[in-house]
Amino acid sequence: MLSEKSRPVIEATAAVVAEHMPEITPKFYAHMFEAHPELLDGVFSRANQRNGEQAQALAGSIVKFAVHLLENPGTLPEAVLARIAHKHTALGITEDQYQIVYENLFWAIADVLGDAVTPEVAEAWTEVYWLMADALIKLEKGLYAKQANDKMWLDWKVVSKEPTGNAAVTFRFEPADDTPQTPGEAGGFVSVRVKVADGLRQARQYSLSDHAASTTERVITVKLDEAGEVSPVLIQNVEVGDVIELSNPYGEITPKDDSAPLMLATAGIGITPAASILSSLAEQGSDREVVVLHADASLESVALLGQLTESLSALPNAQAHLWLGVAPEQAPEGITVHEGRMDPSEIELPSGAEVILCGPLAFMQSTRSTLIDAGVPATSIRYEIFGPDIWLAA
């Protein structure tokens, strides 16, 4: 809870800090990496530094946290914190790194705002930072404690590598040693850490796309990003028999209420968490009402289509709709095909559904707005975003 001493200071300065965050965060990262270059080796993504998404996400999360403290005294934005904590634990973030971030972030704030950062302002924003940091540290300790091992990174061997859809590849792994493995959850993800061209290690997070709860198999589906650093290494260089590092599994979009209908709305490679959710429901013999909505360029572009149709055939109360830019000559069995952009208003939406979105940001924003206009409560809609949460920042 924000102290009464700090509250008026944060109220008076929140808008100014928010306005200058786009200038503060790039300075912060540059300063921190100059002092701690080791943080770019397997922890922070260079790609997200170059495109500015990491800075945007950090700025958004801090400002959102501060505003929540002002508007909701005595509470914390639990959903926001949970999302960040799962991302952090999948990268092996440690408690001591919060002090490093604090020192460099507040250097950048002072550098940008100058004399406006009085001792009172610095003290108030320090309180905000450590309220957020301490809450995340607590959550992350709890997540680490649930692991079946005490390792941040584990060795897994590639046992199959199969193309799927347009420029995507499904990798199946088995443990490379006898380390106890943590079962994942449907809709969850793992981080993959590999050496890139210059020898530095880079980590990226990929959804578990099948058999999420297994401790003897990990399955991810990776779409090639030709401008990226990690996906080209995985798709072009990693072969069957190779051993690479995976994190323990994390993620917080696992379906919650088994009694409510479930709607999965995805686009492109965003189908991967939905695929694991559907395979999990099929494995359980679930009779839950499930509505699957997916948008893609063409039928040939849809990743994991065979797995999707197999899961749907095992779910007695499931229906699926595809929106495709190019209509196929024949629709897959059990799937209704629509031509053009996804429009959930074209179908009858189940009442009281739990909704999970995954896909490009613009797609999720548009779909969420359409669903809310159709009467779906905003609190019933969750999303998975690949990379830093720039939706939160917005």
Q: Are 222 and 208 in contact (CB under 8 A)?
A: no
Q: How distant is the alpha carbon of residue 256 from its chain centre?
A: 17
* 93: helix, strand or coil: coil
Q: Which residue among the candidates 98, 129, 250, 383 is catalytic per the annotation?
A: 98
Quote the DSSP letter at residue 263.
E
Dist. CA 108–CA 27, nearest whole Å: 6
Does 217 qualify as catalytic in the annotation?
A: no
Q: Are 29 and 54 in contact (CB under 8 A)?
A: yes
Length of the chain: 394
Helix 53-71, helix 7-35: angle, nearest 10: 160
Query: How many degrees, rounded to 5, is the angle at CA 55 between CA 51 and CA 58?
Result: 145
Dist. CA 192–CA 153, nearest whole Å: 9
Q: How far is CA 95 from CA 137, 272, 322, 367, in A?
A: 6, 31, 44, 37
Which residue type, as a one-letter code, is found at position 386? F
181's tokens: 């493995």
Dist. CA 14–CA 90, nearest whole Å: 31
197's tokens: 């061209």
137's tokens: 């540290």
Does 140 qualify as catalytic in the annotation?
A: yes
Dist. CA 331–CA 305, nearest whole Å: 12
Q: Residue 291's closest CA among 321, 314, 256?
A: 321
Q: Which residue among the candidates 53, 127, 140, 354 is catalytic per the annotation?
A: 140
Q: Are 85 and 143 in contact (CB under 8 A)?
A: yes
Which residues does the annotation mark as catalytic? Answer: 98, 140
